[in-house]
Every structure is written in C-alpha cells, then in structure tokens.
Amino acid sequence: MLAMIQIQQIPFPLETARELLASYRSPLYVYQGDRLRQTIDFIRNSIPYPRTKFHFASVTNGNVSLLQIFREGGWGLHANTPGDAFLGLKAGFLPEHIVYSGSNLNSQEMEQMLEWGVTTFNLDSVEQLKLFGKVYRGKFADSPQLKLGFRLNLPELTGESRIGVRPKEFPAAITIAKSFGLKLKGLHFYRGTGTNATEAFTQVIDKVLATCKLLPDWEYLDFGGGFGYAYKRGGAVFDWQKFGEELTRRVEKLDRKIDLIIEPGRAAIASCGSILTAVVSVKWQGEKQEKQIVGVDTTVANLSVRSVHGGDREIVSFKDTKKSPLHQTDVCGNTTYSRDYLGRNCQLPSLQNGDILAILDTGAYGYAMSSHFLHRPRPAEVLLEGGKHRLIRQREGYDILLNNQVFN
C-alpha cells in the first residue's frame, strides 16, 4: 500500500498524453482523480483512532474541482489564509469543516472569517488572541461556540521558529481569553515543512500531549501538517500506518476523549499531478557531445521554488527506454532566466522536437506557486478520471498580464 504515495513512473500511456495535448495544448497540468482518491482513502485508513478528522491543507493546491474530491472523500479543509477558506466554501465545504491555522490576520480578515461561519481557529500569538477577542466581543459574541486554540511553539522539538505560542505564555493567554468570554480548547502542532522521517513525528507525541494538558479546557489536538513526500526514488518515505498506530496508542491512554485533527497537504496530492511539456529544442554539449540540453515549452515559473517546497521532480520520457540508451540531460525552460532548469542531470533517452516529457509529482505546489515571472501566462489544468478528461482551469492568454493595471 505504501506504493500508492511513492514515486510513479509513466503516469499514463503515450496515447493519452497525445490526446490531452491535442485537446488542451502544451504545457498542461494533469491530475489523476483515481490516484488522488486512492491516496485519500489510504491516508484516512492509516489512523484507527475513531475521533480523527482529516483536513486537506489547500495551500498546496487550491483548484476547486480537486478540493471537491477531498470533500467527497469525507475530509475537511485546513486554511492558512482567508483565501484558502474562500476556495473551500466555493468547493462546498461547510464552514464548520474548515480549520484556520495561520499567522498575522488583521481585524478585517478575522471578521470576514467569522462572517463566513468558520468556527475553529488556531492563532499564532497572544496578540492575535487579543485582537480576535475584540472582534469576537464586538460583533460575534452570540455566535455558535468557537473552538479556539494556539499554534504551538516548542523550540526543543522543532528548533527556533517564528510560528506559535510557547507554553510559558499559556497562563496569561487563558486569562485573556476568559476576559472575552472565550476558552482555549486546543493546540496545533506543526512539525515542519516536508518532513519525511516518521520518527520526527512519533518521537514527539508524548511531549505534545503533555503540553496540551496545560490547557484546562483542552478538547482537541491538531497534529498539524508538514508531512513530506518522497520526490526522489530511494528517499525516505513517511510511514502513515506506523504513525497512525503510534498516535492512536498514545491518545487512547489519555484520561479524556479528545478530537484529533490531521492536516496532510503535499502527502495527499503530490503524486496525482504531472506537467506535460513538449520538447522544442535539443543540443549537445561537452567535449564529446555527451550531455543533452533539452528545451521545453514550460518554465520553472510553473513549479514551486525548489529550496522552499521540495527538490527536483522526476522527469520521464514516453519513449521506450529499453530500445534507446539514456543520456545525462538538463531540461531547460522557455525563458532566458539562467536558473530556468526543470531538471538537471536527468537520465533521458535521445530526444527530438515534438517529443513529450512528463514532470511528475506536481500536484502540490505546482499551480499553487506558479507565477507570471518573465510574463508567461499560466497553463491549463485538466482532471483525468475514469478514462475521461475534462478542463478544470482554462489556459491564460496574454490579456491576463493586463489585469488590474491602470494606464492611459
């Protein structure tokens, strides 16, 4: 079962790739709905604790059609920003199924979230608690009971971080919350971005649970996100079943029944996405012309920043590699930006103009972190499911570059 969320090879047959590009043009984001549903079920079934709720971290991908698949799978939504919540509502999530865990909201944003009906907030600081209390008391004191908590800052577990509230601040925070008629009912523990080591999560469970007990009104633990994904073959793979068993065993020993919230992001959606791109240029470099330099019709602007959200994605060719030797290959984007490398030192067969490549595992932080850098409009997005495909976001035209500009 672990193979479900590990690296795949050719995502679908060459005939399918050709059909997709003939219908929607290149480059193209393609999401495999069947694979996404399998991963959703696999992760959900990995934690046996009965009071567990899964919330998809939509910061990784905000396409409404994909969010609807998570909703159909019984998941809620994790929002880092009001924009995340807005998209979740458009995807049909009920406000009470949206958990906000973010940083540095202003009063207008807090008011907007409360007007939308969001009821669970994990705040980032005591100052945010004070501001939230003022907004709540001024207009929303008659609202349904909120689930209010803190993002947890435990430097001994995660190192120095700007995010969260330290336990020594809890007593003052409890008093402040009470002054506004509020209670602190939960904590959100964020392990860190893209962590693949299972032990990094299991070894801290006891410490996190002990910290939660410092809240007299403790009702829930949001054991956060940060769950990684193995972008490279042979890399560490997060063991969801081991994590689920360890977490369940510890939580069931508590002297109270709590709600458990799990917020996978990239781990749930990375593997279902690929970018199809066409080769437009090939040249050979090196003393013996041994290195292949392949130019394609997409760019790093259509992927996340590697240093922030994962390393190089695997790039595969639809050619039969059994009949063609592999060459050291750099895959380069269609801009003059000197770092426009989609992949370096890849092992690919000899390519020619018109050949199709697939950049794998782009379901997370692909379109979500794409930009108009060097003024390239963004590609379309397509959902492939049950042998059929449909457009879920239109390709941009150059007019998009003028949006909201004011000129004579």
pLDDT digits (tens, 9 = 90+) for 224-244: 888 989 888 777 889 999 999
β-pair type (315-317, 184-188) = unpaired
Q: Which range (233-247, 251-265, 268-282) has the least confidence?
A: 233-247
| Angle of CA points 307, 309, 313, to nearest 5° | 90
- The closest alpha carbon to 73, from 101, 100, 34, belongs to 34
Confirm if 173 and 165 have CB atoms less than 8 A apart. Answer: yes
Answer whether residue 379 shows pLDDT above 70. yes
Q: How confident is the model at residue 311 (pLDDT cuts 50, 70, 90)?
A: low
Residue 2 banded pLDDT, cuts 50, 70, 90: very low
The CA–CA distances, whole Å, from 194 to 40, 228, 313 equal 18, 4, 14
**pLDDT tens for residues 28-45?**
999 999 999 999 999 999
The pLDDT, as a whole number, for residue 8 is 46
Q: What percent of the chain has pLDDT over 90?
A: 80
- Model pLDDT for residues 118-145, shown as the tens digit of each residue: 999 999 999 999 999 999 998 888 777 7
pLDDT at 5 over 80: no
Report the mean per-residue pLDDT for the chain.
92
CATH architecture of the domain 271-402 equals Beta Barrel (2.40)
Q: Where are the domains of the chain?
A: 46-264, 271-402
Q: Please list, in sequence order, all residues whose beta carbon lies within 8 angstroms of the beta carbon of residue 100, skipping any fewer than 6 positions away.
A: 79, 80, 85, 113, 118, 120, 121, 122
Residue 307 scores a pLDDT above 70: no
DSSP string, 116-161: HT--EEEESSHHHHHHHHHHHHHH-TTSSPPEEEEEB--HHHH-S-
The reported pLDDT for the residue numbered 310 is 55
So what's the pLDDT on residue 308?
53
Burial 203-223 (b: 16+ CB within 10 A, else e): ebbeebbebbeebeebbbbbb
For position 51, what pLDDT does the model report? Answer: 97
The pLDDT value recorded for residue 139 is 85
pLDDT at 380 over 60: yes
CA distance linking residue 29 with residue 380, whole number of Å? 6
| pLDDT higher than threshold 60 for residue 1 | no
DSSP state letter for 277:
E
Tell whether the model's pLDDT for residue 117 goes beyond 90: yes
Which CATH number is associated with domain 46-264? 3.20.20.10
CA separation for the pair 141, 182 (Å, rounded): 9
Strands (E), 206-272: 220-222, 259-262
Distance, in Å, from the CA atom of 354 to the CA atom of 83, rounded to the nearest integer, reads: 38
Structure tokens at 161: 């971080």
Phi, psi of 380 (to 5 degrees): -80, 165
Q: How confident is the model at residue 182 (pLDDT cuts 50, 70, 90)?
A: very high
403: pLDDT strictly greater than 90: yes
**Residue 306: its pLDDT value, please?**
63
pLDDT at 6: 40
By the 8 A CB rule, do 93 and 76 touch? yes
- Predicted confidence at residue 287, as pLDDT, reads 83
Q: Answer left, alpha or beta for residue 381, where phi above 0 means left and psi between -120 and 50 means alpha.
A: beta
pLDDT at 232: 81
Enumerate the β-bridge partners of residue 186.
149, 220
What region does 192 belong to: left with phi over 0, alpha with psi -120 to 50, or beta?
A: left
Q: For strands 28-32 and 273-285, give the pairing.
A: antiparallel
Based on its alpha-carbon atoms, the radius of gyration of the chain, rounded to whole angstroms, reads 23
Closest CA to 189 of 159, 209, 218: 209
What pLDDT does residue 320 have?
Answer: 79
162 token code pair: 């700007």
Give the number of C-alpha atoms closer than 13 A to the C-alpha of residue 82, restricted to the C-beta side. Answer: 14
